[in-house]
Structure 1
Amino acid sequence: MSTIRLARAPDLAAVEALVDAAYGYYVARIGMTPGPMRDVDDNGYAPYIAAGYVNLLFDDDDACNSDNGAPVGLLVLIPKPDTLLLDNVAVSPAAQGRGFGKRLMQMAETYARDHGFDSITLYTQEQMHENLALYRRYGYVETHRAEERGLKRIYLRKSL
């Protein structure tokens, strides 16, 4: 079982640690720091938390409870005028393979529908092959590619 709640200001360090753990192994593959880790360096998660964009996932079966334990996953959802941007979905390496990512992706779709969005947009980096394959399995379709901040990104969209 798992619990999802909005991140609060005291969760900032846990959010940043989770992002670093989830994306750290990509640094060698892509030869630079991935976008979500750059957001940590740019203090991007504090305003996301304050705006209510960051959702944390806790494993209720863990020895720690959701008030004191570390999150096993996170989801950053940013409303845009014409779509819901799934800015980040991450699962702790120690918790991967247990269905937490799927739970977060389902939550994004539920949130989008409940808030009147007819689509979700996300992006990943070209070298993150596993993520690209996963998003395609979930029904996301590539819309375009762009290079931003030196990162080669693939944009995808899912109609709801």
Structure 2
Amino acid sequence: MARARARRHDRTMTDQMTLRRAEAADAGTIRALVREAYAKWVPVIGREPRPMSADYDKAVRDHRIDLLYIDGTLAALIETVEEADCLLIENVAVAPAFEGRGLGRHLLAHAETLATTAGHRRIRLFTNALMAANRRLYARLGYGVDGEEEFPGAIAVHMSKAIG
């Protein structure tokens, strides 16, 4: 099973994309996808990124997590948190086999729709300063840097985008 999942899934005309909200029973699957998606960053930042050790049993209860399936296989997810003045994107994870197909951009657009529907005019996120590819993607999508925050062994880059 793991070997089949590791193969790159090429886009075909028959791809069926399905987006659904996570339920409590999905926590283990979410954890597995996040660990797989973030594994590439361990050598870059010198430790496991925070999402790799998050409590997804709790996150499914307290946050909104939307799961994106391609032809029945979990390919990506986005975790959002409703805040008073904006929607916070807590986590975007794409399975390595599905990278390069625009799924992250698709999920970010979905989050912007959620934020607009909730009446927000701003959406925000944060990323590790060493995750340069992610920072470039967010900048291309219109997110600006609001500031940086130092943590032991890391610098978080706070970014936001005006919407609506």
Scaled by the length of structure 2, what TM-score is found? 0.86
Other-structure match for 1:75:
78
- Paired residue type of 2:91: N
Identity %: 36
Q: 1:15 is matched by which residue type in structure 2?
A: I
RMSD (Å) for aligned C-alpha atoms: 1.2
User: Among residues 35, 46, 66, which one is paired with 1:31 in the alignment?
Assistant: 46
Residue of structure 2 in register with 1:133 after alignment: 136
Residue in structure 2 matched with residue 89 of structure 1 by the alignment:
92
Looking at structure 2, the residues matched to 2 and 149 of structure 1 have their Cα atoms a distance apart, in angstroms, of 39
In the TM superposition, 1:1-16 aligns within 5 A as: 1-16=16-31
Cα distance in 1 between the residues matched to 2:90 and 2:112: 13
1:142 and 1:102 mapped to 2: Cα distance?
18
Structure 2: gaps (5+ residues): 1-15
1:100 is aligned to 103
- The amino acid that maps onto 1:23 is Y
Q: Name the CA distance, whole Å, in 1 between partners of 2:64 and 2:153.
A: 25
* Residue from 146, 152, 155 that aligns with 1:152: 155
SS in 1 for 2:133: helix
Residues 149 and 53 of structure 1, relative CA distance in 2, 3 Å threshold: farther
**CA shift at 1:81, angstroms?**
1.2
Displacement after TM superposition at 1:52 (Å): 4.7
After the TM superposition, which segments of 4 or more aligned residues of structure 1 sit over 2 Å from their partners?
148-151
Partners of 1:116 and 1:149 lie apart in 2 by: 35
Query: What is the match of residue 56 of structure 1?
Result: 67
Q: CA deviation digits over 1:115-143, x for unaligned, max 9?
A: 11111110000110000000000000000
How many positions carry a matched residue from both structures?
A: 148
Letter in 1 for 2:34: V
